[in-house]
Amino acid sequence: MKGCRDAMPAAHGLTDAEDLDEALVEAPARPREIVVTLRDGSRVTVRPIRPQDAAPLRAGFERLSEESRYRRFLSPMQELSGPMLRYLTEVDHHDHEALIAVGADGTILGVARSVRSRKRSAGCRGGGYRRR
């Protein structure tokens, strides 16, 4: 199976991995923050996490039950250490992305995170739409 880079059609003028890397770097920036209205009418801001979010993230962690902490970190976790907080908030937004939902009062309501593994490369799957 070919990887995602191999699936890039030459018709776009991108014929090798180096061209694709340059195109990705030069791509226009996406909106960094959006406001979402929930079903109950409340509004939350969804945005990338920042280092300044360490204190609110720690406060949210402290509100979690012991079981919820265990389920999130897959081990008993009494507190978020300084290095752990830095890992969770000082992300590169390329190989490690984290988006947070923030309430009107500044409380972090949720975090969605994706970390790319450098040990394995994922294939590019087209499912039933391949070659269409």
The full DSSP string for 69-102 is: HHHHHSS--SS--HHHHHHHHS--SSSEEEEEEE
Task: Give the chain's residues under pLDDT 70.
Answer: 1-31, 120-132
For position 128, what pLDDT does the model report? 39
pLDDT of residue 119: 72
What is the reported pTM?
A: 0.64
Given this model, what pLDDT does residue 12 score? 42
The domains located in the chain, with CATH, are: 1-29 (no CATH), 31-116 (3.40.630.30)
Query: Could you read off the pLDDT of 56-85 as tens digits, one per residue?
Result: 999 999 999 999 999 988 889 899 999 999
Write out the two tokens for 54: 């360490």
**Cα-based angle 118, 126, 11 (whole degrees, multiple of 5):** 90
Return the sign of the alpha-carbon dihedral for residues 72, 46, 97, 129.
Answer: positive
Check residue 30 and give its pLDDT.
Answer: 56
What local confidence, expressed as pLDDT, does residue 29 receive?
55
